[in-house]
Structure 1
């Protein structure tokens, strides 16, 4: 990334999943010293506050196939507006989640600013490619990438969301180790590149990330979306859907260092930090450290 100003945007949304607490993720990441860390490496940082979101206790579930989808899309539309505005002002959006459904808004905002779809590296234990028809849970945090590539468009259509926002041929999943059967079937036909944890064990994180960066490069924009459950639960315990066998601390840092070195990534988001499930804010602190690496912090 070039050292343009960084715009921190919080999206404390927790309607996309069932475990409370992820709405406190943006505050936990800020409390762990995010702005101070970024300023300490010479970045110009402006915190633009949080998107206003609804509380699940005050809402009806709606359709069980996609719970709270109307409210989620409304929050994502507001996030998209803030992301688009930051890009148009020459800043790099750094989006803090919230559950991963917020990525619909981040990607839609980037596509609106660019005037065309872009590419994304999706670092996650899960594919997030379910649709309301295929989801086993009805939780929208398992659907944002599907929405972003244009699947189930009738469910995710919104006047203020530019969808589809990414080109499937420029989507790379990294760290995958938990897929539903319908996601596997879609991935075989979609053109999306996948680096499972088994692949990373075989070829290493450096080769996987370099190939991912080559794959997503192109017009429009390049974004990285990091779900903290991509890391092993021993490293990042404070997530809602932990899966054993994830990225190590150093693998995650090297991935982010390579992202920074590439100079092609214009925006970054970290999601699914749940302070209620965390230990001494360790996961939020890890999120801060990884964001700093992705934005240019180096050891020497």
Structure 2
């Protein structure tokens, strides 16, 4: 049994709204440690990483808070890399989704070192493939996938040992329904594998997930980057960037259960939970419920 290591990263440094910095504590208050232990998991919670305060400044050259974003991502990279090196399953408690850059760069370097295939499931309402040239806001939480694929400033594309950290074919994006115009052109050029909500509506969530997971094998490290705004805001209001039309509760549960069925998930991000927009920690409790399903809790009576 893997030991799960929780890594808190309490920052909204890459976001456009304050509040994601409170996400790690909201997940703890919602009982994430107890829920995973109730699933029979061994869990260690090392508390929170530290990093610079959010200066809340306007963009410079198309990036908001670039030095601080780099510092937070280096801290995440080091913590995730250390956890993997100690045979721990890292669960990053965000924080905003810019932190996926440091987390996935660490996972990618670990996989290269150990000769493992890497597959990333990016559960999100947004493609997060902006650059400083096309971003409408300069917020780096809209850029991590582009940076991981080598498109961005050296400070971000070279967080890990390799640039680019990943190839576009290593990532599957699920639930996408908000893509900026310039971003749309770029993801088509890069041939990013996107299962947007229209596609999911047309073929169903089960078939979409079967396609997304079709090339897993025994040598695959599966990383799940779970942005809480993946969920429909009707069930998950506690995010800074709500986009209507996302997966409902049962669809989200099926996504998580199908991932659990692969028995390949070896690292996880939970990001963009924003208690400032939530209702009595409702979204955090839902996130914990879904994370339990990622670790094997089934809503069906299965042996």
Give the TM-score, by structure 1 length.
0.93
Is the aligned partner of 1:63 residue 2:60?
yes
> Residue 274 of structure 2 corresponds to which residue in structure 1?
274
Query: Residue 167 of structure 2 aligns to a residue in which SS?
Result: strand
**Matched ranges for 1:32-181 at <5 A:** 32-57=30-55, 61=58, 63-115=60-112, 118-154=118-154, 156-158=156-158, 162-181=162-181
Whole-angstrom distance in 1 between the partners of 2:225 and 2:263: 16
Query: Residue 213 of structure 2 aligns to a residue in which SS?
Result: helix
Query: Residue 184 of structure 1 aligns to a residue in which SS?
Result: helix
Cα deviation for residue 209 of structure 1 reads 1.1
Query: Structure 1 residues 263, 180: closer, same or farther in 2, change over 3 A?
Result: same
Report if aligned partners of 1:18, 1:139 keep a CA contact under 8 Å in 2: yes
Query: Structure 1 residues 11, 163: closer, same or farther in 2, change over 3 A?
Result: farther
How many corresponding residue pairs? 297
> Residue 29 of structure 2 corresponds to which residue in structure 1?
31
Is the aligned partner of 1:18 residue 2:16?
yes
Whole-angstrom distance in 1 between the partners of 2:148 and 2:119: 10
Query: Residue 194 of structure 1 aligns to a residue in which SS?
Result: strand
Cα deviation for residue 143 of structure 1 reads 0.3
User: What 5-or-longer segments of structure 1 have no aligned partner?
Assistant: none
Cα deviation for residue 99 of structure 1 reads 0.5
Query: Residue 206 of structure 2 aligns to a residue in which SS?
Result: helix
Query: Structure 1 residues 292, 208: closer, same or farther in 2, change over 3 A?
Result: same
Report if aligned partners of 1:119, 1:217 keep a CA contact under 8 Å in 2: no
Report if aligned partners of 2:225, 2:268 keep a CA contact under 8 Å in 1: yes
Whole-angstrom distance in 1 between the partners of 2:104 and 2:298: 27
Deviation by residue 1:229-264 (Cα, 9 ceiling, x = unmatched): 111111100100001111101111110111111122
> Residue 297 of structure 1 corresponds to which residue in structure 2?
297
Deviation by residue 1:84-139 (Cα, 9 ceiling, x = unmatched): 11111111111111110000110111122223683211111110000111111100
Cα deviation for residue 161 of structure 1 reads 6.0
* CA RMSD between the two structures: 1.9
Deviation by residue 1:34-83 (Cα, 9 ceiling, x = unmatched): 000000010011112111122224x7556151111111111111111111
